[in-house]
A and B are shown apart, each in its own frame.
Chain A
Amino acid sequence: MDLKLDADELNACVQCGLCMPHCPTFRVTGDETLSPRGRIRLMREVHEHDAPMTAEVVDAFATCVQCRGCEPACPSGVNYGHLIETTRETLTRAGKLTPRWTRLGFFALAHPRLLRAGSSVLAVAGRLRLVPKRFGVPRDLPLRRRRHHTSGTDVYLFTGCVMDAWQRDVHQAGQRVIEAAGFGVTPTGSLSPCCGALQAHAGFTDDARRRATATIAALSEDDRPILVDSAGCGAAMKDYGHLLATPEAEAFSARVFDIQEWLAERIDRLPAVDPLPMCVAVQDPCHLRHVQRVHLATRTVLQPFVRRIIELDDDGLCCGAGGAYSVMQPELAGEIRDRKIRAIDDVDPDVVASANPGCSMHLAAAGVNIEHPMVLIDRALQGTASAGGR
């Protein structure tokens, strides 16, 4: 079967296996079909030698979290992200991977009113305990959200879809921090409802391209920086250049910054305040650490505002959230999360900081006290040192 893979990208792998321990699904199963090296060999067998696309092969591709922890580990620079995204796109097109009905859910992402209405229903249902726990949906979703307000035109703050409906308080904390550094912020709100990351992840690449095109069109009136406080969205938007392969998309991607990455360069502009009396463990979202590779900025921006930063000793292994992964592969996602929780317990922090909504929901569902770094900084700036988690 033609997987539409680039022959050179596929052959960049010498099968040395150094990626394997950095793969969460291999770590928890010890099974090579669930490792990057294994998946690449299966791609080769199918793509180059026409091996049949059996259920086990489909499963190997379906179970990849797409955390891309294997990429920084690869001395030959194999672009695993491209390989797995293309493979999943081909399989989704052929109706072998993501069930078609899930497209309905992705449709809602790009329609903010529908999404917010649905979220409010979920919020009520959650409070009534009507949502199965395995869906990983927080029980305390907000019933209503405070409206966005524009404070200036220095930067855009990209608000996205699910995050805007479920965690708007994080956007608003981030906005206050950026304003405290002296910049005017335009939250994108319904101007640009969804970046398309989840669609690309699921293999609905055409949908993702449509979202990318719309996002670029909506935010290209001028060339101000676009700050993103969701690591997954930021990674996707920085990859528009590859996804659409146009000069406009390249130029757009160059304007995208993770909010911490951007703030780290301007951290001196924030006032000196009393740090929160807490030890904070940093849980790096994969798409911040392995894909955007700007995770050190989290330390830079947090450091002045908390008592101590603690590192997890797990090489930045994924937590198992992976966009919709925790819903599609709950068993593996749970095992991967257990490993992360052991690493967190080992350092016993007051709170965990994670700059991605998926990770924080996935870990919070297992009882981890977790906050976005921007929320912690905002709290320190407001002088409200209360330790409450969500």
Chain B
Amino acid sequence: MSLLDRFRRTSNVADPLVTALQHALAPDRVRNDGAERSLASHDASVFEGGVSGPVCFPTSTDEVQRITRIAVEHDRGIVPRGAGTGLAGGAIPLGAPIVVSTGKMNRILEVDIENRVAWVQPGVINLDLSRHLRPRGFHFAPDPSSQQVCTLGGNIANNSGGPHCLAYGVTDAHVLAIEVVLPNGDVVLLGGLDPEPGGYDLRGAFVGSEGTLGIATRIAVRLTKNPPAVRTLLLSFAETRDAAQTVSAIIAAGIVPAALEVMDQRMTVAVENYVAAGYPTDAAAVLLAEVEGLPAGVEIEADRIAEIGRANNATGVRQAASDEERALLWKGRKTAFGAVAQVAPDYYLHDTVVPRAALADMLEKIYEICERHDVIVMNVFHAGDGNLHPLLVFDARVEGTLERVHAAGAEIVRASLDAGGVLSGEHGIGVEKQGYMDELFSDADLDHQNRLRQAFDPTCRANPGKVLPMGHSCADIQALRAVPTGVWG
């Protein structure tokens, strides 16, 4: 016991919900104090307005089931939470639901190299799994930029992508089976280890459901063999348009690189300032291209990419000479979002996807929109699949800024949809993009999505108030519940 524990004051007195949860888990694994609830009401997005109920730290399927049954009994919502690195507010609790943290469900349960499957708990950190597999020559292919901290449970909830998903496919392609605690407390296994499990693909419905269909408690993921050879190229351009055109040309040439990532100048400067990887800070845009496979093949593809780049006015082409150099370039790309605080303390970003051919025009449009709204924009995106991440950076303390940022964001989304794009590539809808759903889907589309949700969760207990816009989601009584929140809100 720490010396300070003697001064600890418990704020968990006499709330029957908290008492029941503590009885079901253990007193120290249910927290109802203001500090814990305040942190649980935020993620990495700018969304304010979350209100968290008690925060639970279960360790097993059984405990998640007990929590869910208590939620039913006390008519409370229930929201799963991984690392809280989401950018669309998906993990932000609305209406003081019980928050189920997977922070203590972080064990790799079984690795079966022969069948290329691992069973994991949902709180396992994405990169920890790949590190664990490294000595045996395997990894988990989806590699979101936040992979050093984000959890596999969160990856499934958002059907997360990552730079290397261009070649390997997003999370959905790497999840075989999921054990789920449904919102009524039943435990089911969705999917299976067979290549073609019979029946409806409910696993497919669950992946990307953002916590609205239940809580994953055990996950069977597919393991991917590490490639025998990797080549990483860094191309720089004097015009952003040339970078976008190079991307289209590479794909049109029939090459499917493992990754094709673009950063514009503002982003490159911030990133280089942190990693010192030798990114050219005078280029209008840089393209990070990676090819994987057998040594002879990657040489040919790398040469082809360099050639295509030069034909599209690349001002510089550099190939990473060592694994260290390669790692440093990727470290820069993957910490891009975090590096924006060098410019301003807040950022708001969209995650729209446009057809590759529309990339160059779309980028110009984004710059034009942001200039008109007097908002600084930094671009970093999965160019290979046309997945944009314009980061609108600002200081929320300056009066009126947030309004301008939202207005610019809304225009960017509309322009993307007009270009034949979709709302979200990988970050999910959460609360942030909910309002745009009816611009992408018809009423009939949304009603049928809602029916699927209700089949899993007729009372809207699971992550209430998310994904489907009001009017198309089941009443969402949970979200409207008025709950006294105390001094810590």
Contacts and interface: CB of A to CB of B under 8 A. Distances in A.
B276 interface: no
A73 B274 CA distance: 10
Contact of A18 (B101, B335, B342): B335
Given A30-B123, A51-B488, A54-B488, A76 B340 contact: yes
B239 interface: no
Contacts of A45: 35, 38, 488
A99 B3 contact: yes
A42 B38 CA distance: 8
Interface in B391-412: 395, 397
Contacts of B84: 17, 32
A75 interface: yes
13 contacts: A14-B337, A16-B338, A29-B103, A33-B31, A52-B487, A54-B34, A55-B8, A58-B4, A58-B7, A75-B337, A76-B342, A78-B341, A329-B4
A14 B338 contact: yes
Pick the 6 closest A-B CB pairs, nearest first. Answer: A30-B103, A76-B341, A75-B338, A75-B339, A75-B335, A16-B338
Nearest to B81: A32
B345 A33 contact: no
B424 interface: no
Contacts of A78: 341
A14 B270 CA distance: 14
A348 interface: no
A77 interface: yes
Interface string A224-246: 00000000000000000000000
Contacts of A58: 4, 7
Interface stretch (B39-47, B183-191, B277-285): B39-47
Given A33-B31, A45-B488, A75-B274, 7 more contacts: A31-B36, A41-B39, A51-B34, A54-B33, A59-B4, A60-B35, A76-B341
A62 B85 contact: no
Contacts of A15: 42, 44
A329 B1 CA distance: 8
B35 A328 contact: no
B101 A30 contact: yes
A306 interface: no
A60 to B, nearest CB: 6
B347 A18 contact: no
A76 B40 CA distance: 23
A58 B101 CA distance: 22
Contact of A20 (B42, B57, B83, B131): B83
B207 interface: no
Given A12-B345, A15-B44, A32 B4 contact: no
Interface in B18-57: 31, 33-36, 38-40, 42, 44, 57
A57 interface: yes
Interface in B222-279: 270-271, 274
Contact of A51 (B4, B36, B38, B336): B38
A343 to B, nearest CB: 11
B4 to A, nearest CB: 5
B104 interface: yes
B57 A31 contact: yes
A306 B40 CA distance: 49
A21 B1 contact: no
Most buried by B among A33, A75, A330: A75
Contacts of A268: none
Contacts of A59: 4, 8
B149 interface: yes
A16 to B, nearest CB: 4
Contact of B338 (A29, A56, A76): A76
B346 interface: yes
- Interface bracket on B: 35 or more
Contacts of B7: 55, 58
Interface string B89-128: 0000000000001111010000000000000000101011
B103 A76 contact: no
A13 interface: yes
A11 interface: yes
A18 B149 contact: yes
Contacts of B340: 14, 76
B342 A331 contact: no
A332 interface: yes
A214 B309 CA distance: 61
A264 interface: no
Contacts of A41: 38-39, 42
A38 interface: yes
Interface of A: 11-18, 20-21, 29-33, 38, 41-42, 45, 51-52, 54-60, 62-63, 73-78, 99, 313, 328-332
B341 A13 contact: yes
B1 to A, nearest CB: 7
A20 B149 CA distance: 7
A158 B64 CA distance: 54
A313 B131 contact: yes
B339 A76 contact: yes
B136 interface: no
Interface in B149-179: 149
A40 B11 CA distance: 22
A45 to B, nearest CB: 6
Contacts of B338: 14, 16, 18, 74-76
A73 B335 CA distance: 9
Nearest to B86: A17
Contacts of B148: 18, 21, 73
B4 A56 contact: no
Given A31-B57, A32-B40, A329-B2, A54 B35 contact: yes
B289 to A, nearest CB: 22
Nearest to B340: A14
Contact of B57 (A12, A30, A75): A30
A129 B341 CA distance: 53
Given A18-B146, A33-B39, A328 B3 contact: yes
A62 B8 CA distance: 12
A199 to B, nearest CB: 17
A56 B106 CA distance: 24
A188 to B, nearest CB: 32
A76 B273 CA distance: 9
B9 interface: yes
Nearest to B345: A11
Contacts of A60: 35
Interface in B343-374: 345-347
Nearest to A8: B345
Nearest to A46: B35
A270 to B, nearest CB: 27
Contacts of B3: 99, 328
A363 B456 CA distance: 50
A91 to B, nearest CB: 11
A16 B44 contact: yes
A60 B40 CA distance: 15
Contacts of B128: 21
B2 A56 contact: no
B149 A21 contact: yes
